[in-house]
Structures are given as C-alpha cells and as structure tokens.
Amino acid sequence: MSPSDLPGREDPPINLDDYATRARAILQADQYDYFAGGSEDEVTLRGNRAAFEQIWLRPRVLVDVSACDTTTTVLGLPLRFPVMVAPMSVHGMAHPVAEAGTAAAARDAGSLIVASTLSNLPLEAIASAADRRCWFQLYIYTDRAATERLVRRAEVAGYRALVLTVDTPLLGTRERDLRHRFQLPAHLRFGNFLDEATGGQLGGPRAPLTWSDLAWLRTLTTLPIVLKGILTAEDARLAVEHGAAGIVVSNHGGRQLDGALPSIRALPAIADAVARRCEIYLDGGVRRGTDVLKAVALGARAVLVGRPLLWGLAVTGEAGARDVLRLLESELRLAMRLAGLPYIAAIDRAAVVVDPTWTAS
C-alpha cells in the first residue's frame, strides 16, 4: 500500500488550482474572499484568466530539446525561471509564518519576492528571509517623511529595486469584503508601521500620484524604480520618458477598476511602445507554465504570481509556497520543450497566435 492509499491521506496537489481548492476549505470565508476577490462584478478578475485562453501556441518540431534552459535576469539579478512573487498584503492571514515563508520559498526557487508595504512582517525580516532576493513595493503617503523612511529602510535592508504602485489613487469597491464586513484579524499588524514604543499602528492615507511624484521619488534613492499598474501604451511611453527601469503590466489582480483590460491583453501594445527601452513584467491570471511562456512570447521579461503563493502558504506553509513555484517551473520546462523552445531567448511572438487587435497601440 502506498502512502497515498492510507486512510485520511490526501493526494498532493498537482497544479495551482488544487492549492486554491484546498486553501478555500482551510481559510475562513471572509479571509479567503479577501485574497481571492476582485472589485465590483469581477469582470477584470475573470478576464485575466480568460484572456490566456485566447492565446494559442505554435509549437515547432524536430528541435533538440534534450536540455531546457529557463534562466533569465531581472534588472541584472539572475532568476532560475522567469517567475517572481507579486506584492500581496497580510500573508500572516494565510499562515503564521507569514511573509518569511513566502520569501524563503522564493529564495529557494531562485526567484525573488516583491514585498508589500502592507506586509505583516517588517520589511527587514522579509529581506533577511529572502537572502536579499527582493524588491520593495511602495505606496506614497501624504506624510512624505513616512514614505522617505520606508525608502531608506528598504535601501539599508538590501532591497534591489522599488516597485511603485501607480493604479490606486482610490481603492476599488471590493464587494466581497463589504458583504463580510471584513476586518484584519486582531492579532495581525502592518509590520512596517508599528510604533515600537506603544505597539500601535503608524502611517497615514495614501497620496494620489502624478508623474511629478516619480521625479520626487528619484531624488530619494538610486535604486531602480519599477512602475506597477501600467495598462496602456501611452503610459508605458511616459514611464520610459520619466526614467522607469521597469514596468509591471497589471490591473492590480482585478481589484481596482472593474472592466479594465486583462493584463495579458494589454501586454503586446505596451511591448511595442517600449521597444526594449526598459524591462517589462506582467501580473494577473498566471496559473500555468504555458501562461508564463505566452507572456514571455508577447514581450514580458518575467511574470509575477500572487494568489497561488497564498494558497500554497495556507495549505502547508512555506513548503506549500515552495511547491507552487516548483509546479510552475516544471510546467514551464515541459511547455518549452513541447513547443520546441529550448531556452528563454528562443521565445518570441512567433511562438503564439493572438487576435491582431491585441497589438494595436
């Protein structure tokens, strides 16, 4: 009798959706919906996944795929495969190990974590767990001094880039949270804003941003600045003009403007507009190795994956988060070999078929 035949033993998850199903059974309903939900009717949330199904692969045959090289770099940092951990708040609601588990999983996978401003653990602990394989996601607050302190702390802790979120002048209406009257569990805190003297929370409201704020941020730091939340060719061009080192094509996981373009749908026009003048990454809806391949073919240097890491964390802690990344890497390797693409640089737009209107800029 094998271990999987023993009474009460579940077979291990074989894909990311399996982790989502098991996490839903573990987490409280309001907590699951906080992570899983989008804004309003969740059209964009669903569209992020559906759009990948509108992209078809064009496999080449009789290519030597006895070996497969998935390595790449992001802002000069080597990655074992083109997947990073997206910034997400309050990992501690998924598992007590919180962001330390996710960061360690990214480190062990040869990936990196983009640590959220709204993490449960302080940014220094996350950087340590990640072995400095980390970028810091930044919100700019009306209290500019508080924002500057975050930037300085990220520099000292060894973060390699700042990822400025630009798509949240206001928060989208997340109706699942309203129905649950969601509140952060009482035992959790935002680790980057703790008043060590009182144990209370510090911080302030986020400031609506303009392009001039990017110029101000550049006066504070020499770290590369990546803009997260770009969905149009027009804004991509402006990002390059304002000195962005990278762009994350993103609709905030469908949590902001409902009806906004699916990220992968917006990618080709942005890649054409940028014309390799800065690095391009994509988040939103990546759940399979074939999704990673499609995103790279359409112009992304790497993708960011969010919710599945939380599902893995909820199911088995750090081990689950690590397994989510392992599954994606394994699926990507198989997809590349079946497509006749034995290394990342071989993946280009000829590898896919998309609706021609997707490239309209």
Is 8 among the domain residues? Answer: no
* Structure confidence by residue, pLDDT tens digits, 306-345: 999 999 999 999 999 999 999 999 999 999 999 999 999 9
Is 168 among the domain residues? Answer: yes
The mean pLDDT of the chain is: 94
Query: Is the pTM here over 0.85, yes or no?
Result: yes
Is 87 among the domain residues? Answer: yes
Token pair of 16 as six digits:
């990311």
Domain of 305 in residue numbering reads as 13-344
Is 243 among the domain residues? Answer: yes
State the average pLDDT over residues 60-72. Answer: 97
At residue 357, the pLDDT reads 82
Is 141 among the domain residues? Answer: yes
Is 321 among the domain residues? Answer: yes
- The CATH number of residue 325's host domain is 3.20.20.70
Is 1 among the domain residues? Answer: no
Q: Maximum Cα–Cα distance for the chain, whole Å?
A: 67
Residues in the chain, how many? Answer: 361
How many percent of the chain have pLDDT more than 90?
Answer: 90
At residue 340, the pLDDT reads 98
At residue 1, the pLDDT reads 32
Angle CA 143–85–130, to nearest 5 = 80
Cβ proximity of 108 and 322 under 8 Å: yes
At residue 182, the pLDDT reads 97
State the average pLDDT over residues 149-164. Answer: 98
Number of domains forming the structure of the chain = 1
User: How far is 26 from 19, CA to CA, in rounded Å?
Assistant: 11
Is 354 among the domain residues? Answer: no
Token pair of 276 as six digits:
């390799």
At residue 13, the pLDDT reads 97
Given the residues 180, 187, 242, 252, the one annotated as active site? 252
User: How far is 22 from 17, CA to CA, in rounded Å?
Assistant: 9
Cβ proximity of 160 and 79 under 8 Å: no
Active-site annotation holds for 252:
yes
* Structure confidence by residue, pLDDT tens digits, 174-195: 999 999 999 999 999 999 998 6
